[in-house]
């Protein structure tokens, strides 16, 4: 009876090394992901007004920004506020009618001047916007209320957010748009009217 079972030892050593390699690869890959994620993000590309922006499900063309005393539907603003209206052309690039157009535009930075999410109007009808249909471009007005005692900003900085298309998502295997990411920044000068 040999003192050490050399063959058995070697067998178990090989097994342990093989297991160790797999574990080591997993640790290295996950560390790599963390490092990549911690890299400071790239500067968002700046676009000129009236330049078309491809934003995943939407094509957006920011046009101009202005201050009005009335809402885009013609109704007056509540006492003590004015309307900051940004007009843009939006086209639904997907295969379905969509009503999630509000996730595209954001005011950056979200200061006291432009609180909350804007209200969207269809300029053609002068009514609240409800749905945008595939391949039909519409002029849309996004309205933020601006208090009278707040100074009117010289410029409005907007960011455009895009999602990417996944033909099969991870939960239902159904197509959808996921992973929102800022893809464009636009600075519009604010005109005064009324």
Partner 1 sequence: MIRVFGYLLAIAIAAGLLLAMQRSTPGYANLTGPIPVVGKVGDLIETRRFDVTLETIRFARRLHFTRYGRNHERDTTGVWAVVTAKFSARNVSVTVNSATWQGPTELRYSASSRVENAPGVLLGRRLEPGLSPQRGLIIFEIPADQVADATLLVSETNWPRLDSEARISLSSPATGTALVADMLDLNRLADD
Chain contacts with partner 1 (rule: CB under 8 A): 95-97, 122, 124-125, 127, 130-131, 133-138, 168, 172-174
The CB-of-185 to partner 1 minimum distance in angstroms stands at 28
Nearer to partner 1 among residue 87 and residue 138 (C-beta): 138
Nearest partner of 86 among 189, 194, 181, judged by Cα: 189
State the Cα–Cα distance between residues 34 and 165, nearest whole angstrom: 24
Nearest partner of 88 among 114, 122, 54, 116, judged by Cα: 122
Nearer to partner 1 among residue 81 and residue 93 (C-beta): 93
Residue 80, Ramachandran bin (φ over 0: left; ψ between -120 and 50: alpha; else beta): left
The CB-of-19 to partner 1 minimum distance in angstroms stands at 25
The CB-of-87 to partner 1 minimum distance in angstroms stands at 16
The CB-of-101 to partner 1 minimum distance in angstroms stands at 13
The answer to whether 133 touches 122, Cβ cutoff 8 Å, is: no
The CB-of-138 to partner 1 minimum distance in angstroms stands at 8
The answer to whether 175 touches 166, Cβ cutoff 8 Å, is: yes
The answer to whether 120 touches 90, Cβ cutoff 8 Å, is: no
Nearer to partner 1 among residue 33 and residue 165 (C-beta): 165
Strands (E), 95-150: 105-107, 119-122, 127-128, 138-147
Nearer to partner 1 among residue 89 and residue 113 (C-beta): 89
Nearer to partner 1 among residue 10 and residue 168 (C-beta): 168
């Amino acid at each position: 009876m040999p003192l050490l079972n050399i063959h058995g030892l070697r067998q178990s050593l090989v097994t342990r090394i093989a297991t160790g390699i797999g574990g080591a690869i997993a640790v290295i890959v996950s560390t790599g992901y963390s490092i990549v994620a911690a890299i400071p993000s790239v500067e968002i590309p700046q676009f000129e007004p009236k330049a078309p922006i491809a934003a995943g499900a939407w094509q957006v063309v920011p046009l101009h920004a202005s201050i009005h005393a009335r809402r885009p539907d013609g109704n007056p603003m509540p006492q003590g506020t004015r309307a900051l209206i940004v007009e843009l052309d939006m086209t639904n690039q997907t295969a379905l009618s969509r009503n999630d157009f509000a996730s595209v535009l954001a005011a950056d930075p979200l200061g006291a001047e432009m609180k909350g999410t804007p209200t969207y109007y269809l300029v053609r009808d002068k009514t609240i916007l409800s749905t945008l249909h595939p391949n039909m471009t519409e002029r849309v007005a996004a309205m933020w209320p601006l208090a009278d005692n707040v100074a009117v900003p010289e410029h409005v900085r907007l960011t455009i957010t895009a999602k990417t298309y996944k033909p099969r998502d991870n939960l239902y295997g159904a197509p959808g748009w996921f992973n929102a990411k800022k893809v464009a920044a636009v600075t519009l000068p604010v005109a005064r009217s009324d």
